[in-house]
Amino acid sequence: MTRRIIFLLLPLLLLLAACSRPAEQIRLPMGYIANVQFAPWYMAVERGYFAAEGMQLAFDYSWETDGVRLVGAGELPFAIASGDEVILARSRGIPVVTVASWWQRFPVAVVALEESGIRTPADLKGRKVGIPETFGASYIGWRALLAATGLKEEDVTLEVIGYTQVANLVEKRVDAAVVYANNEPVQLTQAGYRVVLLPVADYAMLASNGLITSERMIREHPQEVRRFVRAFLRGLEETLKDPNAAFEACRKYVEGLDQNEAVQRAVLEATIPFWKEEPLGWSDPAAWQATVQVMQEAGLLSGPVEVEKAFTNEFLP
């Protein structure tokens, strides 16, 4: 009888023991400042989804943190990174892998004021276009747009303007600007300007932001990867179901949200459609292949990339 009681109680004892273990502390490089665009992560923490998996997150917004390098070197288990960052890293021999594609639509776009007369990519010919930099997601999106619409580099005057697209457009120093579709166009609209938006995703499929880990983590700690992905996707799902609750969760993390609430609510509203896909977190092989091709044609890769090793869907629920 005693042995039977012990046998029946064993699962409960194991569960209690697991619950009593201290949560694993995980530093997560975000790649950007605290922002409403990180709402799914804030929801996952505030609703206890990471805690339920035995994890406690510390968000790292530092510009100095090279999340891709640290994950590839095994110094951190996870980071947020864009598809082009993963591809670039793998071309340099850094073994990082996207395990959940958070953004399903590539968010880069070209925006112009309505008064400019620009309505289609063809209207950019002979115009001056501002771009933050000639590398990274903005540049890759720009190159993909050119390739998809038949424009040549010499058809447009491309000017590096940093992240001053709104000011440059309003002051008419450029005719159009490469932006994030969920950010600068929202700011312009909120300020009363009428804009024309040309989303890259309407013309080309590209891999965007996601959760990355290393090949070593996948090989040696697959259950930890699975638990982390599961917690994040629960936060993403709840954000899509209840954007108002997600916005409220952001208040704890995003400084100055109360003073800029109307714009930030509009940014979150404009961002949510970029995350929707069934199943959540899915990586589209065609989008990854297209991104590699654009980067190769732009001369951005240091070596060959086996695209099928840059991402995996095996950890999705």
Cα 51 from Cα 202, distance rounded (Å): 38
- Does the domain made of 24-105+207-309 have the CATH classification 1.10.1030.10? no
* Range(s) within the chain of domains with CATH label 3.40.190.10: 24-105+207-309, 108-202
pLDDT of 33-86, one tens digit each?
999 999 999 999 999 999 999 999 999 998 877 999 999 999 999 999 999 999
Give the per-residue pLDDT at 11.
44
Give the per-residue pLDDT at 5.
46
Give the per-residue pLDDT at 20.
53
Give the residue ranges of the chain where pLDDT is below 70: 1-21
CATH no. of 108-202: 3.40.190.10
